[in-house]
Amino acid sequence: MTDLELMEAAIAQARKSLSEGGIPIGSALARNGELLAVGHNKRVQNADPVTHAEIDCLRNAGRIGSFRDTVLYSTLMPCYLCGGAVVQFGIPRVVVGERRTFPGGPEFMRSHGVEVVRPRSAGVRRNDAPVYCR
């Protein structure tokens, strides 16, 4: 799968969260272009302040061994909690769909060697990722 297709999987998760009455943020995890897991924000649905989309996605991936050759896709720039999980698990690349609404922690991730890719450089068209808000 391409970056665009994998970001579409994350966007589908954001739409799912919205349909459940939650915050429309989605995430996907891939290895070598193969989708491993998806997740969506469940803070409202589960009354759980830490079930962010990226955390849900990583939980859904389970114990896959090393994360060092994976890519995390997120419809919104990961916050410091999620960025910390990226660093902790050694995920080397994060593809972000939107970062104007919430700037998140790209500098934190970059300072730990994570490549944080904006949509244009990831092959995702500028207007594709925020579609979940429409």
Q: Which residues are annotated as catalytic?
A: 54
Beta strands in 61-130 (DSSP E): 70-74, 93-96, 115-117
Containing 68, the helix (H) or strand (E) segment is none
d(CA 63, CA 116): 24
Residue whose C-alpha is closest to residue 119's, from 37, 2, 1:
2
d(CA 131, CA 133): 5
d(CA 101, CA 68): 28
The first and second tokens of residue 37, run together, are 């897991």
